[in-house]
């Protein structure tokens, strides 16, 4: 039984600093809710001068060596908000070995080494809490572990990278190119100088990997994810999608099927009538489909100092209640479902949008239609865009009914080899989310 929980904070940048300030600002409410006082007694960070100024004379020990957190016997919980895989992983593993509970916001570390980390925590009898690792201030981890725990989860789909969503929203609003909208995101501080992790889908893949493991009882397996980013998207496809009644969003998707679990990240056409299509700017949203509850959508700020701090502190509250009442940690994932595997991307089923550059001459539509028929792909709609004045070619936009990824890829290869086709085929998936 404890009445004070001592916290060591690794990282004192945007998230770490916000975590400290929210803990301090809301200390009275947090104590009332948990029955225990939470206090940060030690901070480890690179820029100690900046940290001292932010601490403003508070009685907190400050250093630059993460081993100080592990070696301090007075600390009950280590909060890791440094980011990156190393030295974050070494700190987390050492803290677990020392018998300390861990709260982390590090999705890359968990998606890559989560199995090792969670296994070590279970063996040591400590908890690793990670609400802040997915979708910032949106409590999706707790929703899956607690509020939706009665359900057999059927699928999860989420806009879980604010940078990409801002770029896509800006491309739609302005008609500007991807490069111009990326530059705008960097100017506003929404995108890093090197935005690769965001725009190429890795960040979203880390997050959906974690959600998939929670939902379906699989080991954490980032390597099973099919990842496709938004850097090759063109404004014309966003415009055509609008004409057809869709908006393009970068989605993280995981689904339970009879043949295995789908795990993928890619741009997708979402019908405008779905709430997900209206999620704009840097906002995040996650839709969960359960067998008992139906669909549930959580929406909010997916990044930033205080939204992420909100999730970190929610985990600290859980750990503090456990320590205050002398309870044992709850297993993080429970037992793995040994019967569940992963579905190869070629076997996933979706419907598709294709934009095909062709010569403006008779017989082209017939040639393309024949390829779809040969691959048993049913076409929902087909339209030929008017050729610009003086242009030698035009474009066909096709929407298909549901088919396998393998079938559509075979069809695309055949179409691109046609003499009447003048460019590579643009292929996007459609997600109804119903």
**How many angstroms separate the first and last alpha carbons of the chain?**
47
Pairing relationship of beta strands 4-10 and 37-44 according to DSSP bridges? parallel
Listing DSSP states for 390-414 in one string gives T-SEEEEEEEE-SEEHHHHHHHHHH
Please tell me whether the peptide bond between 400 and the residue prior to it is cis, using omega within 30 degrees of 0.
no
Listing DSSP states for 48-88 in one string gives HHHHHHHHTT-S-EEES-THHHHH-TT-SEEEE---SSTTH
Question: 31 — phi, psi (to 5°)?
Answer: -65, -40
**Helix H segments across 125-234?**
140-142, 162-174, 178-187, 196-199, 202-216
Cα separation, 120 vs 131, in Å, equals: 19
Q: Which of 254, 308, 283, 296 is nearest to 131 (CA)?
A: 308
Cα separation, 184 vs 186, in Å, equals: 5
Three-class SS state of 135: coil
Q: DSSP letter at 288?
A: E
| Three-state DSSP string of 342-360 | ECCHHHCEEEEEEEEEEEC
Burial class (CB in 10 A: 0-12, 13-18, 19+), 96: buried
Residues paired with 383 in a beta bridge = 397
Three-class SS state of 301: strand
Cα separation, 424 vs 274, in Å, equals: 30
| Active-site residue identified among 207, 255, 289, 430 | 207
Active site residue 207: yes
Quote the distance between the C-alpha of residue 182 and its chain's center.
19
Known catalytic residues are 207
């Amino acid at each position: 039984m404890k009445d004070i929980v001592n916290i060591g904070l690794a990282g004192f940048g945007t998230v770490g600093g916000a975590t400290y300030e929210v803990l301090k600002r809301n200390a009275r409410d947090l104590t009332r809710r948990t029955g225990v006082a939470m206090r940060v007694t030690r901070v480890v960070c690179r820029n100690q001068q900046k940290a001292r100024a932010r601490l403003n004379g508070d009685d907190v020990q400050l250093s630059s060596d993460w081993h100080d957190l592990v070696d301090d016997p007075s600390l009950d919980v280590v909060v890791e908000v440094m980011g990156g895989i190393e030295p974050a992983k070494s700190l987390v593993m050492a803290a677990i070995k020392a018998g300390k509970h861990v709260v982390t916001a590090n999705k890359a570390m968990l998606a890559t080494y989560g199995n090792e980390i969670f296994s070590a925590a279970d063996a040591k009898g400590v908890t690793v809490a990670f609400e802040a690792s997915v979708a910032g201030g949106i409590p999706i981890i707790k929703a899956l572990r607690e509020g939706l725990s009665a359900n057999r989860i059927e699928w999860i789909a989420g806009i879980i990278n604010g940078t990409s969503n801002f770029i896509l929203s800006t491309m739609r609003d302005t008609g500007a190119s991807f490069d111009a909208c990326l530059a705008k995101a960097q100017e506003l501080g929404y995108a890093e100088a090197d935005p690769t992790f965001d725009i190429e889908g890795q960040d979203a893949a880390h997050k959906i990997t974690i959600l998939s493991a929670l939902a379906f009882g699989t080991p954490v397996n980032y390597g099973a994810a099919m990842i496709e980013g938004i850097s090759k998207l063109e404004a014309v496809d966003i415009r055509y999608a609008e004409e057809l009644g869709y908006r393009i969003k970068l989605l993280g998707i995981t689904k339970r099927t009879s043949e295995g679990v789908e795990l993928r990240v890619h741009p997708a056409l979402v019908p405008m009538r779905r709430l997900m299509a209206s999620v704009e700017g840097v906002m995040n949203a996650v839709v969960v489909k359960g067998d008992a509850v139906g669909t549930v959508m959580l929406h909010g700020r997916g990044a930033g100092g205080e939204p992420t701090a909100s999730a970190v502190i929610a985990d600290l509250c859980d750990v503090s209640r456990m320590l205050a009442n002398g309870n044992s940690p709850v297993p993080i994932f429970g037992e793995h479902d040994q019967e569940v595997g992963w579905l190869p991307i070629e076997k996933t089923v979706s419907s598709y949008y294709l934009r095909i550059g062709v010569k403006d001459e008779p017989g082209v539509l017939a040639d393309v239609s024949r390829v779809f028929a040969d691959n048993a792909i049913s076409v929902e709609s087909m339209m030929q865009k008017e050729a610009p004045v003086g242009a030698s070619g035009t474009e066909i936009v096709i929407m298909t009914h549901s088919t396998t990824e393998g079938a559509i890829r075979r069809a695309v290869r055949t179409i691109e080899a046609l003499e009447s086709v003048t460019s590579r085929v643009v292929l996007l998936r459609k997600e109804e989310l119903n």
